[in-house]
Structure 1
Amino acid sequence: MTTQHYRPTRALINLEAIKENVRNLKNFLKPNVHIIAVVKANAYGHGDIKVAEAAIEAGATMLAVATPDEALHLREYFPNIDILILGHSPISFATVAAEQNIILTVFSSDWVKQLQLTSNRPLKVHMKLDTGMGRLGVTTIDEMLDLYSEIEKTNGLLLDGVFTHFATADEENESYFTKQVDKLNQFISKLPNKPRIIHVANSATTLMKDNTLQYDAVRFGISMYGLAPSPYVQTKLPFPITQSFSLETELVSVKLLHKGESVGYGATYTADETIYVGTIPIGYADGLIRKLGGQEVLIDGKRAPIIGRICMDQCMIALPKAYNIGEKVTLIGKQNEEEVTIDEWAAKVETINYEIPCIITARVPRIYITK
Structure 2
Amino acid sequence: MHQTDIRYTKLRWLLTLVGLLLYIVDIWTDVGLSIKFLLDGRYICSALIFSFILAGLLVTQIFSHAWYEDDLEDPLVNPRGQSTVLGMSKGKLVVFHLCGAGIFTRYYHLLKSGFKVLWLLGGSLNEEERKEAHHRLFCQATDLSMLKLFEAFLESAPQLLVQIYIVQDRGEASVVQYFSMVFSCCNIAWALVDYRRCLRRSLPNIQEMPSGLPTAVYLFYKLFTFSSHILSFSLLLLLTPYCVIALVAILWVLGTMWSHVLRTNFCSTKRHEMVYRVVVGFILTFTFFNVKGQNTRIVMTIYYSLYLLINLTSPLLLAFLKPEVRTAMFFLVISGVIFACSVLGLVFLVLFYLYLHPKAKRREADEVDGIAKQTEATGRMNNFLRP
Determine which structure has greater relative contact order: mean sequence separation of CA pairs < 8 Å that are 6+ residues apart, divided by chain length: 2
TM-score (norm 2): 0.24
Is the helix fraction higher in 1 or 2?
2
In our comparison, the structure showing a higher alpha carbon Rg is 1
Is the strand fraction higher in 1 or 2?
1
